[in-house]
Amino acid sequence: MSDTLVSMKGLDFSYRTPDGSIRVLDQVDLNVERGEFTCILGRSGCGKSTLLRILAGFEQHSGGSLLIDGTPLTAPSMERIMIFQEFDQLLPWKSVRENLLFPLRKRFPDESAAQLHERSEQALALTGLSQAAGLYPRQLSGGMKQRAALARALALEPKLLLMDEPFASLDLKTRDSLQQLLLRLWRESAATMLFVTHDIQEAILLSDRLYIMDEREQGRLTCYENPLRRPRSHSMEGFKSFALRIARAFD
């Protein structure tokens, strides 16, 4: 039985600029099923980040409907957390541990310091950052910063994790290990994942359902079910042929 967390129908969005308004999304439909891993694949400039910002509540759409858990989306919420590509999303003057504790206090205001500490230590352990808990962001590699951003996001127990090309600036090896980590964290949590990328292989490795965003059609999304069993690898049977099918649709 399907259980839809995000239901977007006929969504329109334009940016207002001094030279007039620019329509970026026109009549966009998207369904994200609860607990699933959904990827959006699209070229640079097609409107992926705009769509995620709308889902985070940072931008207002001008038309269509957008329901989260059956309720119209009106404002940002700690139930929808965003992770960005940039390595500078941690507070530079706080340690890794404090970067987790700071939003945790807001998210769980009734919990004791010991309970919050337990939450942060658990998230740090799950992401392999226990040893780095006392370090400051400037002392971390790019991969560790993204791990910390992931730890912080998941510690907040979001309903929906919105990821905007979080691994796009990492070297291949680090990216591989973070993809595996993300899949493990997803299996162990109740979070629903919406992950944006321009990398076909990454989308196939991660997703249950994959949407291709079309720039020429103002963000129109076409849905593909991922036929590959988990656990997946680039060399498994069927990976190449599915990648080829997606690449053809992507061109």
Ligand X SMILES: Nc1ncnc2c1ncn2[C@@H]1O[C@H](COP(=O)(O)OP(=O)(O)O)[C@@H](O)[C@H]1O
Interactions with ligand X, residue window 106-125 (CB under 6 A): none
Strand arrangement of the beta sheet that strand 4-17 belongs to: 20-33, 4-17, 63-68, 71-72
Instruction: Determine the residue type at 165.
Output: E
Q: Which does 15 bind (CB under 5 to 8 A by kind): Mg ion, ligand X, none?
A: ligand X
Q: CB-hemisphere CA count at 13 Å for 13?
A: 28
Positive or negative torsion for Cα 208, 214, 219, 223 = negative
49 binds Mg ion (CB under 5 A): yes
Structure tokens at 140: 């971390």
Stretch of 16-24, 44-52, 74-82, 86-94 contacting Mg ion, by CB under 5 A:
44-52
Q: Does 247 bind ligand X (CB under 6 A)?
A: no
Q: Are 42 and 215 in contact (CB under 8 A)?
A: yes
Out of 5, 8, 46, 170, which residue is the one contacting ligand X (CB under 6 A)? Answer: 46
Q: Does 89 bind Mg ion (CB under 5 A)?
A: no
DSSP secondary structure letter of residue 138: G
Q: Which is nearer to Mg ion, 119 or 220 (CB)?
A: 220
Using rule CB under 6 A, residue 50 touches ligand X:
yes
- Could you give the string, one character per residue 24-43, with x where binding to ligand X holds by CB under 6 A and - elsewhere? x-----------------x-
250 within 8 A of 200, measured Cβ to Cβ: yes
**Binding partner of residue 42 among ligand X, Mg ion, none, CB under 5 to 8 Å per kind?**
ligand X
Is 50 one of the binding residues for Mg ion (CB under 5 A)?
Answer: no
Report which DSSP code applies to 140. S
Site residues (vs ligand X, CB under 6 A): 15, 17, 22, 24, 42, 44-50
